[in-house]
Amino acid sequence: MTEALKRKVALVTGGSRGIGAAIALRLAREGAAVALTYSRSADKAEAVVRAIEEEGGRALAIEADSADAAAVIQAVAQTVRALGRVDILVNNAGIATLAPVDKVSLEDFDRMVAINIRAVFVAVREVVRHMGAGGRIITIGSVNADRVPGDSMSVYAMTKSALVGLTRGLARDLGPRGITVNLVQPGPVDTDMNPAEGPFAEQLKSLLAIGRYGRADEVAAMVAYLAGPEAGYVTGTSLTIDGGFAA
């Protein structure tokens, strides 16, 4: 444990696995109490909580499907009831349904928009009711907002591009209140959803300047910086961590 985020409270959506779990663990190691949401992986969410508690931290797992606005609202309320407030919001929950544009169903379109965009707006709207000066809002987007290297990604890329404008607007809205708002755009990262040895791995590695997938803990390190006191002058920006994917 370090002291950088001591006495801070963080809420991480989609924090049961992959990048979200790495972020929850890193923020806890920096001293924050952490609430994390999950939609299906209760066992994995509880494993993250146990890992934090075993290292002397404080954590809480909350079941909340980010596609359900009411569930997002309730997750924020539950965090405040249990931990007192929210100082750091990390909008990590996201999905990708990849298909050619003429094969994307309206149901898939609506669900991607609901989770990747609407849930971010709802979480921010609710959190800022409890967040004071020094607050941090960090959203996990994607390098696909800037570069789409293949087909079947149009709707996903659209949802991630929308976060760029939302981040800039929120930074203007919340800057006078001392709250910073930033977007982190990872490239290919080794997770369950996109494993470094998966079916698309070799194609993606060929586009990377470094030639390897990123690690979830590398993304978490960038988030921890943005959440900390040294990033107080960073707001309204999109920070890319992609191994040179967009270079």
- List active site positions: 156
Asked if residues 15 and 38 have their Cβ atoms less than 8 Å apart, the reply is yes
Distance CA 207, CA 40 (A): 33
Asked if residues 62 and 36 have their Cβ atoms less than 8 Å apart, the reply is yes
Distance CA 182, CA 134 (A): 13
Residue 91 is inside which H or E element, if any? strand 88-91
Pairing, β 180-186 against β 59-63: unpaired
Two tokens at 6? 């001591």
